[in-house]
Chains A and B, each alone.
Chain A
Amino acid sequence: MTAWDYLLWVAFPYAATGVFVVGHLLRYRYDQFGWTSRSSQTYENRLLRWGSPMFHYGILMVIGGHVVGLFIPKPWLQFFGVTEHMYHLGATWLGSFAAVLTVAGLAILVYRRRLTKRVLLVTTVMDKVMYVFLASTITFGTTATVLYQIFGGGYDYRGSISPWIRSLYSLQPDPSLMSDVPFFFQLHVLTATTLFLLWPFTRLVHVFSAPLGYLVRPYVVYRSRDDPRGAGSRAPHRGWEKSERPLERSRK
């Protein structure tokens, strides 16, 4: 094992985790106002109507698949009667379905963001960086699956990548597990780790405010004037800027 192995498969994931956790805590503490999905639905809906649900439902399934594949050890699944064959079938078919949804949805969303002028103009630099890493993570992941799982002989990532991740979180990191992993899986892991590193500084934070509480709370919410979250005096916040034309305005 080289220093690179330690750097890529131990130091980098730990650093990304640290930034991910601390970044979220700080942003939640100091930037509640910026914590939003920043929807652009009012600008354009013809493409978004298809792209957004496809991508979001797809990526939720993908996340579910990753949790099962990476965090649940093989013997546990076998204990519940999930055989290797069943797992493989599920991962291939459900996974392919989810991948098609996600990739197609993302393609629509990126196309829309690039070619709808209104949407393009409200896209921040951070949005663009995020899109690059999100798209490359998904692309590398899909490429790896297609190359090694569907056309190749099948690669058992549950024998290498999964134990490596669990070794990280049991604080006994074992980078040797990752050194012989196929190239596209390595790329997928690295771009994903970078995405986690950037996560707290992007609009992706909206994932952590998924409003599940809505299912159980009463319909009408009352709050007292004296509620500390209520209106009171405080320093002027963002969102009160004077109305101006977008920067792009150059008159030529």
Chain B
Amino acid sequence: MRVMAQMSMIMNLDKCIGCHTCSVTCKQVWTNRTGVEYAWFNNVETRPGIGYPREYENQEKWKGGWVRNKRGRLQLKAGGRLKKLSQIFNNPNLPQIDDYYEPWTYDYDMLTTAPAGTQSPVARPKSLLTGQDMDIKWSGNWDDNLGGSQETAAQDPILATMSEHVKMEFEETFMFYLPRICEHCLNPACVAACPSGAMYKREEDGIVLVDEDGCRGWRMCVSACPYKKVYFNHKTGKAEKCTLCYPLIEQGKPTICSETCVGRLRYLGLMLYDADAVLAAASIENDQDLQGAQRACFLDPFDPEVIAAAKAEGMADDWIEAAQNSPIYKLISEYEIALPLHPEYRTMPMVWYIPPLSPVVDVVSNSGSDGEDARTLFAAIDKLRIPVEYLAGLFSAGDVVPVELSLRKLAAMRAYMRGIFLGNEPDERIPNAVGMTGETITAMYRLLAIAKYEDRYVIPKAHVETARELEELGCSLDTDGGPGMGGPGSAGHSGPYGNTVGMPLGATVDNYNTMTGRPSATAPTTPGRVNLLNWNGNGAPQGMFPPIADAGSPA
């Protein structure tokens, strides 16, 4: 047993309103640069729909992920090592920029500089690749809210595999949103495909990263990722991908997509797993068993044996504690309502989803029945083949059982909690029908519906070696007004955490921890006056507050 920790995410799809706030904040933070205009480390897809890039789930076309070969061994779908190297001069499976979209901007200058005339000036779209006028034909969320999906939905690979023929009639349809980031897989195909060895999985938290210096632009990772979440920066010629906002995670803070999520549907936490068991689990024969095999790789953080093994691997106590409090562990292993996205790709993805009950509830409510009644909902889950089979196509390689189980638990929670809020006696038969108790279902309700910030994000801080910490501190005399005052940290170089002192700011946990908690501007620069712009909220500058009244105890 080799215990490793994985920082993982779960998204509760019932709560997603498709506002794209996560995508926009992610883009502002990571990909508002030349060469990655088309890259959406986080994107939100309307389902049914063809996703971004177009039809990325059609692995017969793109050859992403792994396959089990005849000898029962795992192999990249695009071919073995020699075949990959032989294709290095031209990757036959690489998506073209037009499979994403041609990035553009608008001719905004025209709005202010156009000469006076009879017509209002317009800002025409201009290609960011050629600089010329262009027609906008596709983008990152072109089929948002099923827009135009009568044209495109037939290309949805999930719909294509479903047993019944599904007509995309507007009145009969169902829909939900699927936000996607990099899956930070346990068995990442992109890492395995990188010829240069520049992509790696971090030992400490399992985040999959690209070493931008080591990347030589061979583009194999882009095609190997079945989720198409590695992007090729066409300006620098290097691969880029979602970093799970590691500079934030290292400080114990949630990723930018989670932090800004309006629906508060994202959960972040650790998952302990046995790294030695991953390969065997990913090579299991039947696609539909993969989801269960992945669950079997996860370790119980309360098991004394696991704790001992984790400590032997050098895992710190606060990390083990974080794994015990992890909302991810609760949702995957305790309540068993979260499911992985496309386990059949055999990459062992680590961003899981709670399937949405809303398509079912909507149908029940629209038919005039009680959408919160347990028996009606259970019956509807059994009857409504189309949404359930579709969800199974996404989350369990087509096996409807795990999806049904998960939806029944959500339905039970809905019905049970409504009874309580209506002032009725709690009906214990409802949780018992899905193998839960009133107590666990209430706890699940607290985690899913109340969803307190500190319950959603249980992120331990990264441990930094003392030597590096000291190196980042800079000169100890370089404090405000100190004898070494000067250099990049002195006046006029304000950082986001107040005036920076010493070394320039880099995005590391080391200097963040140095910056926060240090009071600044405690001594007013001009006697009798306080510069509020300099004050970071710590400490009480002289003269800012009235003196504390002597109310019994001296200050």
Contacts and interface: CB of A to CB of B under 8 A. Distances in A.
Interface of A: 32-33, 35-43, 45, 48-49, 52-53, 55-57, 117-118, 121-122, 206, 209, 211-215, 217, 219-226, 229-235, 237-249, 251
Contacts of A214: 81, 84-85, 194-197
Contacts of A53: 89-90
A206 B91 CA distance: 16
Given A48-B90, A245-B126, A245-B128, A221 B200 contact: yes
A32 B204 contact: no
B96 A42 contact: yes
Contact of B204 (A36, A41, A57, A225): A225
Interface in B187-242: 187-188, 191-192, 194-197, 199-205, 209, 211-219, 232-238
Contacts of A242: 32-34
A249 B90 contact: no
Given A38-B237, A217-B197, A221-B197, A43 B213 contact: no
A33 B236 contact: yes
A240 B33 contact: yes
A233 B203 contact: no
Given A49-B90, A229-B214, 6 more contacts: A32-B214, A220-B187, A223-B201, A223-B211, A225-B250, A243-B103
B126 A243 contact: no
Per CB-CB distance, the 5 closest pairs between chain A and chain B, nearest first, are A233-B506, A211-B195, A38-B237, A32-B213, A219-B192
A41 B82 contact: no
Contacts of B219: 39, 41-42
Interface residues of B, number: 76
A43 B97 contact: yes
B217 A36 contact: yes
Interface string B168-199: 00000000000000000001100110111101
Nearest to B81: A215
Contacts of B555: none
Given A118-B129, A233-B507, A248-B131, A223 B203 contact: yes
B237 A39 contact: yes
B127 to A, nearest CB: 8
B37 interface: yes
B213 A33 contact: yes
Contacts of B209: 230-231
B123 to A, nearest CB: 12
Contacts of A230: 202, 209, 211
A241 B203 contact: no
Interface in B28-74: 32-35, 37
B510 interface: yes
Contacts of B365: none
A246 B129 contact: yes
Given A38-B217, A220-B191, A241-B34, A211 B88 contact: yes
A243 B90 contact: no
B238 A221 contact: no
B34 A244 contact: yes
A43 B89 contact: no
A222 B81 contact: no
Nearest to B104: A245
B94 A42 contact: yes
Contacts of A36: 215-217, 236-238
Interface in B293-348: none
B508 A222 contact: no
A224 to B, nearest CB: 5
B258 interface: no
A226 B465 contact: yes
Given A37-B217, A42-B94, A251-B107, A222 B234 contact: no
B200 to A, nearest CB: 4
A37 B211 contact: no
B508 A232 contact: yes
B105 interface: yes
A42 B97 contact: yes
Contacts of A219: 191-192
Contacts of B212: 33, 237, 239
B130 interface: yes
In this complex, which of A37, A222, A225 has the most chain B Cβ atoms within 10 angstroms of its Cβ? A225
Contacts of A212: 85
Contact of A57 (B81, B89, B213): B89
Contacts of B131: 121, 245-249
B33 A243 contact: yes
B426 interface: no
B283 interface: no
In this complex, which of A33, A211, A242 has the most chain B Cβ atoms within 10 angstroms of its Cβ? A211
B138 to A, nearest CB: 15
Contact of A243 (B34, B203, B217): B34
A240 B240 CA distance: 12
Contacts of A225: 202-205, 250, 462
Nearest to B113: A251
A226 B463 CA distance: 10
A242 B28 CA distance: 11
B96 A239 contact: no
Contacts of B237: 36-39
Interface string B130-141: 111000000000
Contacts of A251: 107, 110
B148 interface: no
Contact of A43 (B90, B129, B197, B214): B129
A221 B191 CA distance: 7
Nearest to A213: B197
Nearest to A32: B213
B472 interface: yes
Nearest to B90: A52
A222 B202 contact: yes
B92 interface: yes
A231 B199 contact: no
6 contacts: A49-B92, A232-B468, A233-B511, A244-B34, A245-B131, A246-B131
A42 B95 contact: yes
Contacts of B142: none
Nearest to A226: B465
A231 to B, nearest CB: 7
Contact of A209 (B37, B196, B508): B196
Nearest to A232: B508
A15 to B, nearest CB: 28
A199 to B, nearest CB: 16
Given A52-B90, A117-B130, A248-B131, A39 B201 contact: no
Contacts of A243: 32-34, 37, 103, 105, 128
Contacts of A37: 216-218, 237
A21 to B, nearest CB: 20
B97 A209 contact: no
B130 A121 contact: yes
B273 interface: no
A211 B202 contact: no
